Structure 1
Amino acid sequence: MKIAQITMLLLWVFTLASCSSDFEQEVDNVSPCTGQVTFLFDLQKNDVFAVQSRGSKPERITHMWYAVANKEGKIIKPLYQKLENDFSKLTIEGLEQGDYTLVFLATTSTEENAMETVNTPTLLSDDWLMNSTEKMPLDALYFYKKIELHIDREQTGVSECVTLERCVGRVDIDLKLSSDYMWRFIRKIDVTFDDTEGIYTTLNADGQYTGGKKVDSYDITEKCSFYSLPSKDALSGFVTIESERSDGMLFERKYRFTNCKIEAGRVTHISIDYLHPENQEGFLYIREKDFERFQTDTMFLADEPREIFYNSERRSFYANAPLQLSISNEHKLLVKFFSPVSIQNVTVMCRFNKISTEFFKLAHFEQIYPFMEASFPLPVVDSERTFTTSNGRKVVVPAQPELSNDDVTLVIQTDDPFIKKMEQIDSHWFIRFSSYSADAGHAYWRHMNPLLCRHGVALAINMAFMFSSEEFNTEMNTYEGKLKDNGGNPINLDVLRQKIRNHGGLVLGCVSGVGGLGGGTTYGLANYCYTGVYFDATPPNAHPHNYPRQAMFHEYGHCLGYNHNSTMTYGDQWTVLCATVFVNMGKEGKLPICSKEIIAQLPM
């Protein structure tokens, strides 16, 4: 009996051990690695579709949705799922052995209503992405992908890359204008399709398009393009453009189009030959919003190389004429503006020297921004154009394919306060930049940088303006007999004024170890002197004769030919006179560039 009991006990222990072993294996089957899938996401690359010509930015997912369906097409909820905040990776765990369908939907739209167009499906056949807006396209970029997945019994972690594909198409309205300057006349552009149900309204979770709707008078003025779910067939319709003439009269014109098939992942073009009564005008009208259409740049940005700002052909100007206009070697209107402040409403008058003695209106700028460097195509280079003279007469000018700067005389007309101040400057200083002996191991000369160049521009303009001002000349009269030359003799103030007016200009450089070096046209200052001369570079109640301002006018005294034996460099005469007037005019807003914050706030 005992033997039988022992035998039964051993059998029970053996059976228990076997069951225990089987249980551990079962646990292994549902370990965190079992049924785990990781998806890494990327967006479909398509250079034709992702055209960057409309001011668009690189595509980045802003919202993402996904669903997991079993083989019956029912949406299920996995045991564990995690979607990274940047939508780059999705991890799913706990999927049992079997077949699954996974669907993904994403958008790059930043609009708040992007999420309102997406439903939560319970079946693969349910509507997912919906366009419920009446008579309007979806007009947002969406991506979709469906993949089939099989999970084996013994399967551990799997990683898969998923490229999301565009599930919408794009329609571009390509306006063929006689010149890009005609954009100023366009007030509104909208598009209408004839077919009342020609465009799908829904993308199901399984990737099928359904439904149908019409697009009617959809405004595309800003982008001249829109996104849409695909169309069922090729569509026809019309583009309506509302325009304005120079006299302010509005008119509307409809342009018919056909064979517009909207397909997912593709761009469809509607080409329009824009008609306007002033198509043959040669006048350039440039709004601030038009700059992106042209070759525009900014001088003295942080990464501007020395080879450019030391090149006097690229970076030089006259202190009384910081706005430069010319015809480039490419037969374009070249604009350079050596100023840290913008100007408004500038008209350019032009005389074609070989054709007429009259001046025509060539261009108008609503704004010229600080340190602008830009070139603008001239329609008259390629074809015959009509211009308006200063007295309103229309004149036809034949095409000028070889137009050069010698062929024209350009005159600036504006009431902008900054330019009006430039007109008060009675000197003609030529300003440029130099490294001097910075590369030769010189004890003092160092390299300029773009930011110092900007401050140098402001310094030269401000100094030239101050010397021409009534405030300075009135104050200088009180120094009669106090300003002495190198021999200790009183300086004739009228002779001094004439010497300043006739001075050739300044070649700006940077020094270290001393406040400045100067003589003739050589003019070098330490970097802290370039930035420390503005009225607000020192406390409000501080004496105006700080070291940077002393160095500024000390070195200019050398440029005028005076040495340290005169009162034009050291002492409390010339430099105190200049610094005091300079600070007072800055405080009162009378200088062209008063505050240090003007340059500090510009983008670099």
Structure 2
Amino acid sequence: MSRFLTVVLWSSLLLTGCRQDDWSPSVPAAAGDAAVFRLRGGAYDGAATRVEDLRMDYDRVEFRVVDAASGDAIGDLRGLYHPDGSELRIEGLREGDYRLLVLGIRGDWSRDGVEVHPISHIDEEWVSFPADPGEPLAAEYFYSQSPFTVRTDISSEGIVTSQVTGTETLQQRIIGRADFTFAYENPYIRTALVSLRATLGGARFHTGMTGAGEFTGESGELSLETDLEEASTYCFLSLAGGTSLRGEIELVTRTYRGGEVRRTFAYELADLEPNRIERIHTPVVHPDNTSGTMFITPQAYAEGSHGEILQDGEPKTVYTDPAQRRFNTAAPLQLSVTDAGELHARFYSPRPLSRVLVRARIPRVDSEYLDLAWFDSIPPFADFCERLPQLERPTQCLSESGRWVDLPQLTAADFEGVEFAVECEDPYWKKLRQIIHGWTIAFSLFNGDPDRPDGGPSGNWMGIRPVHCREAVAFFLNFTYMIDMPEHEVILRENQDRLYGNGGVNDKVTPERVLSQMRQSRSLNVGLVYPGNGIVGLGGGSSYGVYQQAWLQHYFDTYSCEIMFHELGHVMGYNHSSSFTYGPWAQELMNHFYVNHLDQMPIDSPSYLNSSQNPTLY
């Protein structure tokens, strides 16, 4: 349904809103006593683009028609504004030469206290604003004064027709816009803002406009403090009395070392003309301008649009490619510098990591580790990649001994042989650092097809999906953490008489041998077992897999956990005659220890992944 605004002009102006469904397409000339005017407008002078608006879709329209010669207002006219077509239709016009005055408003004019007055002559004040400019304008105001002519003709048959010339109406703003802009030598300063405020003062503005478009009146002096993070663009009527808009900008930022920097900049804007954008531009002089440490705040991370690994929808050719998706549980945070000079951080973890300092020793630059990047947070399964500042400009970095090191502008080749160190006080990181004997985990389809609804079973395997891969990350982080827990070692020693090998109960295995086998460096291809053949787990050599339920329930279900450890027993070289499969190690000691000590492990809850609610499960 179309939307219309009806304006009725008698001795004063009345604006109402209505809806009408029988609007017919307009034509350049009016039929009978109706004239249709097309409202057009353009961008601000000084805007980045000069493309003109094809339509002026206003929230409110006021108009007056005056006699072209005398300037006297014409009464008894009816106007209908069509916002969707940016057209104003006026009825009641007679033959003559006129001027059409149009005020268009876009935005919430009620906040501005604007008043539109009935006028009898073009030189009278038509529009007025409050004398106290308590805040910038909430709406934009457009004005035009357009000459047009109405001529009537009587045909030989006595039919009266009207022609209107001058129906294209170009609107321009009667307000000016002040934009606060900033130039940051170091982009991480902008994304580390704590606050950005400005005082607006000194200026007085015009408070009114006549029908002829002449400004009138003068306001009191503006005095206002504003938050530039919430809004950096402000609209006003033009400056009056030779005054200027002036004040101070206060910028407060965090530093990655935990402090704050407060900077103040003075500004003055001497001109603010109608339909123009004036920029209050501030080059930010800041002590961190030369810093070469990437300061990755949540805002900086979000703006980087960084990826995530092992996510639903990731192609199987990616997550089952060891060159792209493989990790060691003792090093779940993978760090590198790419050939393009980007810091690449990939995190195999269901949990985030907070307050992470990445240091790098760059042999071609310095013998010490330097502060290369600070992350307020690294998200779960993060795949962060961002160009290093050192490739853009000369920088300074703080060394591990506390001295500042000046670095010239570097190339990617200068990072050859880089070594990384991580500092982090997050308790979760401390647990991850306690994984000493890591296992290397990759993911395999084993000829299954995850793109098929049934997983494309191939023998006892089906296509593993990312939801299962994420659970594999959780389980093997916990398992390799568990094998170095003192409590785990105690339970093995207390039950050493129940540990036996492939020769049965008389083939005793010492706790030291078991610990050595569990702590041995291993590489596994992890998959998803197809339970249709009655098989719920497979393991041996470098292959490992369990059925879907076990991947989901290993946290709390001792039966599912038994399956996990049964297959680990096979990976360690044990058969079904040993206690490591159908025996106490898998069926009683390990599965119960894992479930009962889950609260001490790195991934201490299934809620991080919430896999049981995942829509991609089989």
**1:304/1:450 contact within 8 Å kept:** yes
Matches of 1:470 and 1:134 in 2, distance apart? 71
* Equivalence for 2:588: 576
Task: State the match for 2:605 in structure 1.
Answer: 595
**Which residue is 1:508 aligned to?**
526
Offset of residue 581 of structure 1: 0.9
Measured in 2, the distance between the counterparts of 1:312 and 1:129 equals 71
Residue identity over aligned pairs, in percent, reads: 22
Q: Displacement of 1:269 after TM fit?
A: 4.2
Q: SS at 2:419's partner residue?
A: strand
* One-letter identity of the residue aligned with 1:508: V
2:249 counterpart residue number? 240
* TM-score using structure 1 length: 0.71
Partner of 2:558: 545
- 8 Å CA contact retained: 2:116, 2:128: no
Structure having the higher helix fraction is 1
2:501 is matched with which residue? Answer: 485
Match for residue 551 of structure 2 among 523, 530, 543: 530
> SS where residue 601 of structure 2 aligns?
coil
Q: Is the 8 A contact 1:136 1:218 kept in 2?
A: no
Structure 2 unaligned residues grouped into runs of 5+ = 1-19, 27-39, 50-56, 66-72, 95-99, 151-159, 161-170, 450-455
| Structure 1 residue 278 corresponds to structure 2 residue 288 | yes
Q: Name the aligned partner's letter for residue 451 of structure 1.
A: V
Q: Residue by residue, what CA displacement relative to the aligned partner does 1:363-401 show, whole Å, maximum 9, x if unpaired?
A: 222222222222233222232222222222222122212
Please, which of 437, 441, 460 is the counterpart of residue 476 of structure 2? 460
In the TM superposition, residue 75 of structure 1 has moved relative to its aligned partner by 11
Residue type at the aligned position of 2:264 = R
**How far did 1:120 drift?**
8.6
**Aligned-pair CA distance for 1:248:** 4.9
TM alignment of 1:346-357, pairs within 5 A:
346-357=356-367
Contact map agreement 1:445 1:511 (CA 8 A) in 2? yes
**Could you say which residue in structure 2 is the equivalent of 1:450?**
466
Deviation at 1:291, TM superposition (A): 1.9
- Relative distance call for 1:143 and 1:37 in structure 2 (3 A) is farther
Per the alignment, do residues 105 and 221 of structure 1 end up closer, same or farther by CA in structure 2, a change over 3 Å counting? Answer: closer
CA 1:134–1:67 in structure 2 vs 1: closer, same or farther (change >3 Å)? closer
Secondary structure of the structure 2 residue equivalent to 1:438: coil
One-letter identity of the residue aligned with 2:135: M
Inter-partner Cα distance in structure 2 for 1:598 and 1:196: 55
1:189 aligns with 2:196: yes
Q: Please say if residues 203 and 239 of structure 2, whose CA atoms lie closer than 8 Å, have aligned partners that are also in contact.
A: no
Residue number in structure 2 paired with 1:254? 265
Distance 1:263 1:328, change over 3 A: farther
Check 1:146–1:365 CA distance in 2 against 1; reply closer, same or farther (3 A cut): same
Q: Distance in 2 between matches of 1:261 and 1:232?
A: 6
Secondary structure of the corresponding residue to residue 498 of structure 2: coil
Q: How many aligned residue pairs are there?
A: 529
Q: What secondary structure sits across from 1:468 in the alignment?
A: coil
Counterparts of residues 25-36 of structure 1 (less than 5 Å) = none
Q: Distance in 1 between matches of 2:355 and 2:206?
A: 48
SS at match of 1:419: helix
Residues 1:209 and 1:357: Cα distance change in structure 2 (over 3 Å): same
- How many Å apart are 1:76 and its aligned residue? 11
Match 2:541 to one of 520, 534, 537: 520
Q: Cα distance, 1:223 vs. partner?
A: 4.8
Indicate whether 1:301 and 2:308 are aligned.
no
Mapped to 2, the partners of 1:333 and 1:104 lie a distance apart of 52
Deviations 1:435-464 (A, max 9, x none): 221148613332233322222211111111
Partner of 1:173: 180
Q: Kindly indicate whether residue 390 of structure 2 is the aligned counterpart of residue 380 of structure 1.
A: yes
TM-score, length basis structure 2? 0.69
For 2:251 and 2:375, the matched residues in 1 are separated by 23
Deviation of 1:584 after TM superposition, in Å, equals 0.7
User: Post-superposition shift, 1:573?
Assistant: 3.7
Match of 1:541 in 2: none
Indicate if the aligned counterparts of 2:76 and 2:92 stay in contact, CA closer than 8 A: no
